[in-house]
Amino acid sequence: MGVLPLARGFTLPVVAHLSLETSLTGRTAVIALTGELDLAGAGALEQELARPEANAADAVVVDLRGVDFMDSSGLRVIVVSMQRTQARGRRFALVPGAAQVMRVFDVTRMRERLDFVDDPREVDGPS
Q: How far, in Å, CA of 93 to CA of 30, rounded?
A: 9
Does 9 reside within a domain?
A: no
Q: How far, in Å, CA of 28 to CA of 91, rounded?
A: 9
Count of beta carbons in the 10 Å neighbourhood of residue 68: 15
Nearest C-alpha neighbor of 31 from the set 46, 16, 43, 17: 46
Per-residue pLDDT of the chain (127 residues; tens, 9 = 90+): 455 555 555 544 445 699 999 998 888 999 999 999 999 999 999 999 988 655 678 999 999 999 999 999 999 999 999 999 999 899 999 999 999 999 999 999 999 999 999 999 999 766 6
Residue 74 sits in a domain whose CATH number is: 3.30.750.24
Question: Domain total for the chain?
Answer: 1
In this prediction the pTM is: 0.84
The parent domain of residue 92 ranges over: 16-122
